[in-house]
Amino acid sequence: MMTHLSKIDSSRLDAAIAVIDPLFDRACERITEHSHAAEYMSTKPTVNEVQEDWEKAKAARSPYIAA
C-alpha cells in the first residue's frame, strides 16, 4: 500500500498538524515519566478539557473524512 503514499493530498496536512501537535504534546507531558514536573504529577485534565481537546481533534479530522 505504500505505493499509494505519493497520491495522498497533503495540502491540508499543515492545518491538521497545527491542531493535533499541541494536543499530542500536552498528552505526552502528562504520561512521559521523564517529563513529570511536580506540577503535573498530581494533576489530571478536567472532563471539560478532555472534551474540548476531543472536539478539536475531530474538527481537524473532519476534512479528511469528507474527502
For residue range 4-33, list pLDDT tens digits in order.
Answer: 777 777 787 888 899 999 999 888 777 765
As a three-state string, the secondary structure of 4-51 is HHHHCCCCCHHHHHHHHHHHHHHHHHHHCHHHCCHHHHCCCCCHHHHH
Q: What one-letter code names the amino acid at 22?
A: P
What are all long-range contacts of 51-58, with beta carbons under 8 Å and residues at least 24 apart?
Answer: 53/23, 53/26, 56/19, 56/23, 57/19, 57/20, 57/23
Look at the pTM and tell me if it is higher than 0.75: no
For residue range 36-48, list pLDDT tens digits in order.
Answer: 556 655 567 889 9
